[in-house]
Amino acid sequence: MLDIKHNINNLRSWMEEKNIDALIIPHQDEYLSEYLPPQNERLHWATGFTGSAGIAIVGKDKASIFVDGRYTVQVQEQVDKDIFEILHITDNPYMDWIKDNFSKDSKIGYDPKLNTPVWLDYASKKLENYNLTSLDENPIDLLWNNRPSSKVDKALLLSENYTGESSESKRNKIAEKIKSSGNDCAFISKLDSIMWLLNIRGNDIPCNPVLLCSGIIHSDSSFDLYIDLNKIPMGLDSHVGENVRIHDLDTFNDIKNKDENKKIMFDNNSSNLWSYNIFKLAGYETIKSQDPCSLPKACKNDVEINGMKDCHVRDGVAVSKFLYWIDQQVASDNLIDEEELASKLDSLRSEQDLFKGLSFGTISAAGSNAAMCHYSHKNSKIPGKLEMGSIYLVDSGGQYLDGTTDITRTVAIGDVSDEIKRSFTLVLKGHISLGSVIFPKGTSGHQLDSLARQYLWEYGLDYDHGTGHGVGHFLNVHEGPQGVGKGGSNVPLENGMVISNEPGYYLENQYGIRCENLVFVKKHENKNRGSFFEFEDLTMAPFDKRLFDRDLLTDSDIIWINNYHEKVYNSVSKDLDNQEEIDWLKQATSPIH
Amino acid sequence: MLDIKHNINNLRSWMEEKNIDALIIPHQDEYLSEYLPPQNERLHWATGFTGSAGIAIVGKDKASIFVDGRYTVQVQEQVDKDIFEILHITDNPYMDWIKDNFSKDSKIGYDPKLNTPVWLDYASKKLENYNLTSLDENPIDLLWNNRPSSKVDKALLLSENYTGESSESKRNKIAEKIKSSGNDCAFISKLDSIMWLLNIRGNDIPCNPVLLCSGIIHSDSSFDLYIDLNKIPMGLDSHVGENVRIHDLDTFNDIKNKDENKKIMFDNNSSNLWSYNIFKLAGYETIKSQDPCSLPKACKNDVEINGMKDCHVRDGVAVSKFLYWIDQQVASDNLIDEEELASKLDSLRSEQDLFKGLSFGTISAAGSNAAMCHYSHKNSKIPGKLEMGSIYLVDSGGQYLDGTTDITRTVAIGDVSDEIKRSFTLVLKGHISLGSVIFPKGTSGHQLDSLARQYLWEYGLDYDHGTGHGVGHFLNVHEGPQGVGKGGSNVPLENGMVISNEPGYYLENQYGIRCENLVFVKKHENKNRGSFFEFEDLTMAPFDKRLFDRDLLTDSDIIWINNYHEKVYNSVSKDLDNQEEIDWLKQATSPIH
């Protein structure tokens, strides 16, 4: 068991010794990725908070933790208010709190591995009268007893049957980009970028099939990989082709002893300050750039798209079986809880071929719990139960050798009110409108976002999250650079990009609705001269017709629904086990009029 | 008559004397506004080109002119190819042309009055090995014989009955903004901002009812106006209230002899380098800022909106009479030309109450001429004529004491093809979709743009211009900061903003279509908690039902059209002169089923 009081006392003794007045403890680790391995959950060690975002400031006699709207309830349950003041990160920016609680010239310690150059620029301006101090070592790493050990599973070598392109070919293309931009090399710190580039996968982080590592790709297509050598399997050499040099993770620091005098592309937003400083000390000229793998990784090739299609059929089988099973339980008055529901779905998914794990923790939310966008029953003392006359929201996904899935369905539990039907149908209409748009080359997700919201807007309703995120191929379920949203990305959507289409609606303390399919971008054939794209659905599972408000659906909505459901039936039914499931799917996907 | 050869020879002698290797001659004048008074048409003096955008580079033995896609035909007709190489400004950026045609260290002269600090930053990077030289005087001003004289009409004092707010009140609000941003004053160089702030109008520039002047507003609400003193009418003092100091335009230069040591807000994008340098020399600290009048000017108050509504009814009377007249002419086989059509419309508009002039030169385009977005029959050797079986596009607007109008209608001349009807209907559906959207506070035009394009996109069609621009109140027909477009503004739409809603479609060498109304943003009342807006149409004139493809219209499209047409009939018919016109409007606005 965590002893937060003990941990904080130890931290404060260390701060006393080092003469540090305040310590900044962000959630992120040195890889700045969305999911952390357990050994890097430093914020949890210091506060007890298990959310996926947040930051703590620990002073000698006061401390606070800052979280966003998703975690305001959870943080109250998990964090000891005798030790921490609990604050909302937007209403009370933590840098303002530092200014209010520490006198000028106070020494504010931060770990350069856990922060970016962009963060330091910002912090230096906001805290200009403070002594912002880069720490040589992270005190939590020194003080953490029984810290979980790192995984040392070997890398998985993903064959070209799945990736569609050799690592050598990918490296050649990235090297061309480096050359054409007048640089010598690029630092690659995003774990999914390295996995994509080398056609490998790993098991170091829950849900993200990546290995903890970093690398440098050079303009001659060679690659320096820094990684725990225990993770290197037999055959990596021949798998990745020539010119991949493998170094122990700990030797990354030695770079600074060379005088390279080269231009290195460096992403100030996604790579940490510690590596930035190492390159600076080694005499590199760092050139602010986006990760050059990001865009080509996002544009899936035909083999990857085919893999995505295949795994979505298997995933659709699991989800359809699950939806059938729910209906059976409800019919026999068995109003099960969120935990059991999630376990059932996870287990159905795990039975599918090529399954490698979940792509994120299943969100299984009954009744009013679904009104919290990022609800997790695991953070609830007692998981909620299905209730008659309400709706159940399930957002889940799997990792398969041939792709990644992410689907949300909202399910009627008994008869639901007309208001719920209306809300659901407005969300579904937005889903259909975005899903069926045809758009010219150059269009970004930011331009398309309003298509998904327009019907809710008509009723003065909206949802407070993005409409779509990029999805990796047997990689991270959230990837850039594209996205659909109000504050969304201006990166044009391109052939082969996969995004989620997930409008929703949430009525506080009452219910939550989300309709989510993954789609991919493909060329739209037309007789005119322009270059146009459209989306094709990857996700294959029925939308709950019991939630439709028929009066709100136009003829073209109905054509879309019937076509989509026909595709679902044709692809999924053949892999169902028994006639009951097939019959259920038949009626769940039968045409509406 | 212009003698370009003579002018260029004189320019080159001057350059020889001053040791200038190349001279940059942009279209814009020292006010950097969209429309120029004749005495500032320096590009025309040097090249003969009359377009609204372009730039010339004159060297000792070569010269070139760069224009955009709108002017590629016109420039060929107007500019002597023996003197100028004619180039497309995007395909051949003029700075690249300088690099290709002048050796390093060449002295490149520019007039700091005609360029912004942002331009100089860019030019200094692009031409880093050149000797970019700020000129103390513009050689064209020295050499221009018979230069048109500046207008010296007195300022018009616009009463609070039209403006809805006193200048003092506006100045107090801007002063608050200056104070709250920690500055001492703001330089206001946009002419429409000064007009708005002082509740005055002028006659110095065609179509824009502004005076050539500039000003500084201070945090104590006082204002220093720099203007030709001949333009100051009796009663200005009491009109603008206390603390407006009036200086002769020529004394602006004297500012640099004071050591002000103040923080001045300065818009590096819209104010010129010459004034920037004056403030620098005077010891001001220039703070990069947007013009603080821009946003409040864009958000019209109730009095301004009521004025806009009123003038749009009168404008609608003129346009409706014009549309009736066209039908009469066509019915009597009188296929008149674009010049006569434009004159007729301009004259009908000029008969309306409170009319003060056109808000831009009428675009009157028959048949294939309308396929050129910014066609002007004045630049054509022979104006086009109406043709049976084609469409006529007319984009026009007026300045009235109580507001500004801008409307485009596309008119069937005889029976048109199904293809034209389909294209028109797709454009109209986009117009309706944008015009009827309800959207939450915080939404920008960039987010709404795809609503206007979606139906064209469905057919692989699109248009290569923005969908909407801001419009002033008895001020410039184009104003920021809001806008609707692909590259559009991210400024949220706010209560009282006026924008155009003008999707179009252009098929090269065949036809052009545009449906344009002005709309204003108002609160949308709903029972939910969110703060939502909607648009209300200002423009009152029928869309040509003969161009509708009924099969493409949904029930909600038809409701929109019938409601709009009913409003048009009710507001416009009572001011028509005779029964024939009323009958015509009755059928033009009768409901469709």
Q: Any idea what DSSP says for residue A39? A: G
Inter-residue contact A83 to A4 (CB < 8 Å): yes
Q: CB distance A447–B451 less than 8 Å?
A: no
Residues of chain B whose beta carbon is less than 8 angstroms from a beta carbon of chain A are 437-440, 442-443, 446-451, 454, 457-462, 486, 524, 526-528, 530, 532, 554
Region A213-224 average pLDDT: 97
* Segment B440-449 mean pLDDT: 96
User: Going by DSSP bridges, is the β-strand pair A223-227/A244-248 parallel, antiparallel, or unpaired?
Assistant: parallel
Q: Is B530 exposed, middle or buried (0-12, 13-18, 19+ CB in 10 A)?
A: middle
Question: Is B36:B114 a contact under the CB 8 Å cutoff?
Answer: no
Taking 80 as the threshold, does the pLDDT of residue A379 lie above it? no
> Any residues with CB less than 8 A from the CB of A28 and at least 6 apart, and which?
A36, A114
Element (H, E) at A29: none
Task: Give the alpha-carbon dihedral of A271, A273, A278, A282, to 10 degrees.
Answer: 90
Question: Are A187 and A216 spatial neighbours (Cβ–Cβ below 8 Å)?
Answer: yes
Q: Quick one: B515 exposed, middle or buried, by C-beta within 10 A (0-12, 13-18, 19+)?
A: buried
> Mean pLDDT over all residues of chain B?
95
pLDDT at residue A529, as a whole number? 67
Considering only CB atoms, which chain A residues are within 8 Å of B464?
none
Chain B residue closest in CA terms to A459: B526
From the CB of residue B55, how many other CB atoms can be counted at a distance below 10 Å?
A: 19
> What is the average pLDDT across B94-117?
96
pTM: 0.92
* Whether residue B258 has pLDDT greater than 80: no
The predicted model gives B194-205 an average pLDDT of 97
Q: Does the structure show a pLDDT above 80 at A134?
A: yes
- For B457, the closest of A440, A457, A486 (CB atoms) is A440
Measure the CA–CA gap between A588 and A567, rounded to whole angstroms: 12
Q: Minimal Cα–Cα distance from A548 to chain B, Å?
A: 20
Closest CB to B454: pick one of A449, A451, A524: A451
Q: Which of B454, B509, B523, B556 to probe the A interface (max A CBs under 10 A)?
A: B454
- Work out the average pLDDT over B173-183: 96
Higher pLDDT, A381 or B298: B298
pLDDT of residue B378: 83
Instruction: pLDDT band for A162, please (50, 70, 90 cuts).
Output: very high
| Chain A residues bordering chain B (beta-carbon distance below 8 Å) | 437-440, 442-443, 446-451, 454, 457-462, 486, 524, 526-528, 530, 532, 554
- ipTM over 0.95? The verdict is no
Count A/B contacts: CB-CB distance under 8 Å.
69
Render pLDDT for B461-511 as a digit per residue (tens, 0 to 9). 999 899 999 999 999 999 999 999 998 788 999 999 999 999 999 998 999
Is the CB of B443 less than 8 angstroms away from the CB of A486? yes
pLDDT for position B527: 72
Per residue in A574-591, pLDDT (tens digit) is 999 899 999 999 999 999
**Interface test with chain A among B426, B450, B489, B560, by most A beta carbons within 10 Å:** B450
B232-245: average pLDDT: 96
DSSP A84-100: -EEEETTTS-HHHHHHH
Q: Distance (Å, rounded) from C-alpha B342 to C-alpha B390? A: 18
- The yes-or-no verdict on residue B379 having pLDDT over 80 is no
Torsion angle of C-alpha atoms B192, B198, B199, B202, degrees rounded to 10: -50
Cβ pair B524:A554 closer than 8 A: no
The residue ranking higher by pLDDT, B254 or B256, is B254
The edge-to-edge listing of strands for the beta sheet with A223-227 is A244-248, A223-227, A213-218, A185-188, A263-266, A285-288
pLDDT of A380 reads: 77
pLDDT confidence of residue B529: 67
Report whether pLDDT(B111) > 90: yes
CB B354 within 8 A of CB B317: no
Give CA–CA dist A372/A70, Å, rounded. Answer: 7
- pLDDT, residue B536, reads 98
Task: Answer with the residue of higher pLDDT: B69 or B552.
Answer: B552
- For residue range B363-377, list pLDDT tens digits in order: 999 999 999 877 888
**What is the model's pLDDT at position B462?**
95
Q: Which three-class secondary structure state does DSSP give residue B519?
A: strand
Average pLDDT over chain A, rounded to an integer: 95
* Count of CA atoms in the C-beta half-sphere (13 A) of A81: 6
The rounded distance, in Å, linking the Cα atoms of B587 and B593 is 14
Helix (H, G, I), strand (E, B) or coil at A426: helix
Three-state SS sequence of A124-154: HHHCCCCEEEECCCCHHHHHCCCCCCCCCCC
Rounded to an integer, the average pLDDT of A475-496 is: 94
Contact present, A581 and A569 (Cβ < 8 Å): no
> Is the peptide bond preceding residue B481 cis, with omega within 30 degrees of 0?
yes
Contact A459 B528 (CB under 8 A): yes
Query: With an 8 Å Cβ cutoff, are B532 and A486 in contact?
Result: no
The Cα–Cα gap between B444 and B464 comes to 20
Say how far apart CA B573 and CA B278 lie, in whole Å.
56
Mark out the alpha helices in A21-93 (DSSP H runs): 42-47, 72-78
Q: Do B449 and A448 touch (CB under 8 A)?
A: no
Question: Among A151-155, A400-404, B588-592, which stretch is predicted with the lowest mean pLDDT?
Answer: A151-155
Mean pLDDT along residues A321-344: 97
**Do B372 and B73 touch, CB atoms closer than 8 A?**
yes
pLDDT digits (tens, 9 = 90+) for A426-459: 999 999 999 999 999 999 999 999 999 999 999 9
Please indicate whether residue B382 or residue A419 has the higher confidence score (pLDDT). A419
**Could you tell me which chain A residue has the CA closest to the CA of B526?**
A460
Q: What are phi and psi of A10, to 5 degrees?
A: -65, -40
